[in-house]
Structure 1
Amino acid sequence: MAKRKFHLTEEQEQELKHAYHQSKDGPTWTRYQAVRLYGTGYSAKEVMEITGCSWSSLMKWCRVYRTAGVSGLVDKRVGGNRARLTEEQMQDLSLRLHQYKPRDLFGPEAATPEGEFWTVEDLQRAVRQWYGVSYRSRTSYYRLLRLCGFSYQRPAKVFRSRREAAVMAFEEALEKNSSM
């Protein structure tokens, strides 16, 4: 059985404890705790059970601590997806969405018959046309609408082949019946 090469001095143990209590980040706490426990004699299996980390992560954290100290264990990940549109492009998009209607850009090819309101499909076409960017999720387009000052509304279903004369006759009959 191989002898463990990773041991902490009393000073290093105190440094990790202090950093643990000062940190407000969960993944960083786990790293501090795992390195401190392993360095003070706990077995890798015990540390893995206590912290929920994997053996490879534990060994990597110990290696990083040896080379970079406490600062090397800080979680450097940045949350969220990488923005596909820059701040300037977002401002330009907002301006364009308020300036144009889908019918102005796409004519009869707009997603709604009137082309009056922005839909996800129309926004998707416009963003691809203007900036060469497309998102995988519809939620991303809902977010773009919201950031540009729009609220997402589900359009009413309208049959493209409906007869307007028949619709008007039906609405007149409905009005006559409701006024009785």
Structure 2
Amino acid sequence: MDTLEQFIQSNRNPRELKRALAVQMSQRGHTYREIRDVLQVSLGFVTTCCQRYEANGVEGLKLNYWGTQGYLNPQQKQEILQWLAQKDAWLLEEVVQQIEDAYGVVYRSYQSYYALLKQAGFSWKKSHSAHPDKDETQVEEKKLKSWSYWCSGRPRLPVVKCE
């Protein structure tokens, strides 16, 4: 019980602390329902914590998830960020191609590229200086531009513009 007490006193992680308190309350004779009500957890949580503590001690109460290994190591990521700092604007395709050519990494989602761009201080969102509804020619230009972007992003589907 000393190690459990030390774990509670030294722990700053709220999830691990809640697990340890559930075990401590159980050892002091509180029912699982009382523990559930005090800690605002489920009965299954209390049961699991007690079982893990009995099987593995304090180690069983610690979080085991540390995330996944990234595709780029910290040095490679720093090199990419330095490369991005060379220009004020980039096309996403340029960034994708550079990462693939230099490191052989292709992300499944563009979100990973966006995260790198954000980390480098870039924004990929466009703003409009004036509302296009004020001028019909601007509205038509915007529709055509949007249509061309939409079509270029969907090369696998045959699309016909409805009039």
TM-score category, normalised to shorter length: 0.5 to 0.7
Matched residue, 2:81: 94
Larger CA Rg, structure 1 vs 2: 1
| Aligned residue in 2 for 1:133 | 106
| CA 1:25–1:156: 2 relative to 1, 3 Å | closer
**RMSD after superposition:** 3.5
Q: 1:132 Cα shift?
A: 3.5
Measure, in 1, the Cα distance between the counterparts of 2:13 and 2:81: 35
1:47 aligns with 2:35: yes
Identity %: 21
TM-score by length of 1: 0.54
Moved over 6 A (4+): 156-159
- Number of aligned positions between the proteins: 131
Matches of residues 33-72 of structure 1 in structure 2 within 5 Å? 33-72=21-60
Of 149, 152, 157, 2:123 maps to: 152
Q: CA deviation at 1:150?
A: 4.0
Provide the residue aligned with 1:31 in structure 2: 19
Distance (Å, rounded) in 2 between the aligned partners of 1:60 and 1:83 = 31
Taking structure 2 as the reference length, the TM-score comes to 0.59
AA at the equivalent of 2:40: G
Distance (whole Å) between structure 2 residues aligned to residue 62 and residue 72 of structure 1: 9
CA contact (8 A) 2:71 2:105 kept: no
Amino acid aligned to 2:106: V
| Residues 127, 134 of structure 1: 8 Å contact kept | no
Structure 2 CA distance for partners of 1:156 and 1:52, relative to 1, 3 Å: closer
Q: Which residue of 1 aligns with 2:114?
A: 142
